[in-house]
Chain A
Amino acid sequence: MKEHDVVIIGGGPAGLAAAISARKAGVEDIIILERSHQLGGILNQCIHNGFGLHTFKEELTGPEYAQRFIDQVEEAKIPYLLDTMVLDVQSHKVSYINKNEGMVTIGAKAIVLAMGCRERPRGALNIPGYRPAGIYCAGTAQRLMNIEGYKVGSNVVILGSGDIGLIMARRLTLEGAKVQVVAELMPFSGGLKRNIVQCLDDYDIPLKLSHTVIGIEGKERVTGVTLAQVDDQRKPIPGTEEHYECDTLLLSVGLLPENELSRNAKVRISPVTNGPVVDDTMQTSEDGIFACGNVLHVHDLVDYVSEEASLSGKNAALYVLQGRLEKCEIPLMATDGVRYTVPQTIDVKTMAPLVTVRFRVGNVFKNRSVSVYYDDKRIMCIKKKVLAPGEMEQVILQKKSFEAYPELKQITIKIEEA
């Protein structure tokens, strides 16, 4: 059985950054396994701009951002396999399939999970009605339009105001379709303000907050949808139904980290993020298995994916070079408005001088502070004018800040009044 030092599952932005970082940290034998026919992952179909502001201080389109990393992988001569689907991951073993080799199992000293995420489909929402053609997840429509150049429909209603839905509202409009309305279940939008302005306001596309689709008509192809307002339990309010004639319903109703392989590898999954639980080195509950990118938790900015993945790759390399570290992990508790943190634990003895803790809040907050407690002592209090679920936040913890807390049991991050 062939063995590699670092096996990276996924050749999108996370996998690419992890590979480059692992090489920089001194590991030679790395391989990237990518299921598509090209590297770049989802960025290949994200032809809009807004990527790279933090990483390159430039505003790039998705493909351009991806190319920067692909160039580095090619330059470093890091091997990769395309059209290769990983079917199973176990401790130190990866099995994949492709048309040249058939089914292969390889050994891996360290594994980096970088499989990204998938979209929540109509079926998971149980939207009643018929099941005609013309119902698309926004990403599927994006792929058909941007990679293949096809037209998915002319008269569109969009459910979900996350960034993908907003971006597609603009894309469809520029390609000549009529986007009538974007409906959003929550009382706030899940997307960036910039996208609301440049994708909806620019084109006079109305955004209906606290609304959802309660019915789909059309036996063969969509002929219409019914929207309704929802109450604070998110249940449709009778009497608020509005019918829209349309031939396409686009769904942008949630991204789910793709952790089927991780689950099979017995990696512990957080029920909040739907991604692996990791420590400050991005290692999962399984020895030698690391995670980064959307498979770990859904990101808004690819720049943070690259940062996180670089850390993952570097630590996967260190694991190979230095072996397993003795761990003494302090749990991070997310509470009072904070939905989750990544990482979920920190080893205060072995951590790097600085650790970035990323988190999301569960609601829109104005004029609050992000507070960090070591046990019951508040050590950090950062004033924030606004916090929103659609904008990932971070705090940076310093190793030396833990020196005064040798008996530390728990780190808590919460939202408090300003």
Chain B
Amino acid sequence: MSKKELTCIGCPLGCSLTVDFDDERHEVISVTGNSCPTGDKYARKETTNPTRIVTSSIPVIGGTMAMVSVKTRTDVPKSQIFAIMKEIHQTKIKAPVHIGDVLVHDCAHTKVDIVATRNVDAAR
């Protein structure tokens, strides 16, 4: 068993949460320190399967802008962030690009796509 300390990000209160964690079964035993159910939910997710949305930018070839901002379409395991960044860094895309275009499929084997978050027209 281990004790994990984290700060809840559900609201500005930022309660200090303590999670009793069963390392073998990878399960939460209990959560204390939260002032509301959001904190409990957050603590459980954050200790069993912490995920994040990753945002970055990718160079555009032949576009009216040099870079297109991108994000992981949904959240990805926190442990995969740098693997995702590595693949993003190896990617370039040709203009035009539209919001929502998939620029990288199944990035770093997370089953999550990298999508464009802005439009970039082709330069004339």
Contact = CB atoms under 8 A, between A and B. Distances in A.
A and B touch in the complex (CB under 8 A): yes
B13 A386 contact: yes
Given A63-B118, A201-B7, A391 B55 contact: no
B99 A64 contact: yes
Interface in A378-414: 385-388, 391
Contact of A47 (B9, B66, B69): B69
B55 A49 contact: yes
A174 B9 contact: no
A89 B65 CA distance: 32
B97 to A, nearest CB: 11
Contacts of B59: 149
B110 to A, nearest CB: 16
A198 interface: yes
B44 interface: no
Interface stretch (A189-197, A227-235, A289-297, A348-356): A189-197
A193 B14 contact: yes
A363 interface: no
B30 interface: no
A193 B82 CA distance: 23
Contact of B81 (A62, A174, A201): A174
A67 B97 CA distance: 14
Contacts of B78: 202
B85 A174 contact: yes
B37 interface: no
Interface residues of A, number: 31
Contacts of A48: 55
A388 B13 CA distance: 9
B102 to A, nearest CB: 15
Contacts of B8: 193
Interface in B55-78: 55-57, 59, 65-67, 69-71, 78
Contact of B117 (A47, A148, A202): A47
A202 B66 CA distance: 29
Interface in A176-224: 192-194, 196-198, 201-202
A202 B35 CA distance: 23
Contacts of B71: 47, 49, 61
Nearest to A61: B117
A386 B12 CA distance: 7
B12 A67 contact: no
A385 B11 CA distance: 10
A266 B64 CA distance: 39
Nearest to A147: B67
Given A63-B118, A64-B117, A67-B119, A198 B55 contact: no
Contacts of A147: 65-67
B52 A202 contact: yes
B117 A63 contact: yes
A336 interface: no
Interface string A349-387: 000000000000000000000000000000000000111
B118 A149 contact: no
A285 interface: no
A61 B73 CA distance: 11
Given A64-B99, A174-B56, A385 B69 contact: no
B54 interface: yes
Contact of A194 (B9, B54, B65, B117): B9
B53 interface: yes
Contacts of A196: 7
A373 B72 CA distance: 48
19 contacts: A47-B57, A47-B117, A49-B71, A59-B53, A63-B69, A64-B99, A64-B118, A145-B57, A148-B67, A149-B57, A149-B66, A174-B81, A174-B85, A193-B8, A198-B52, A201-B7, A202-B78, A387-B12, A391-B12
Interface of A: 44, 47-49, 59-64, 67, 145-149, 174-175, 192-194, 196-198, 201-202, 385-388, 391
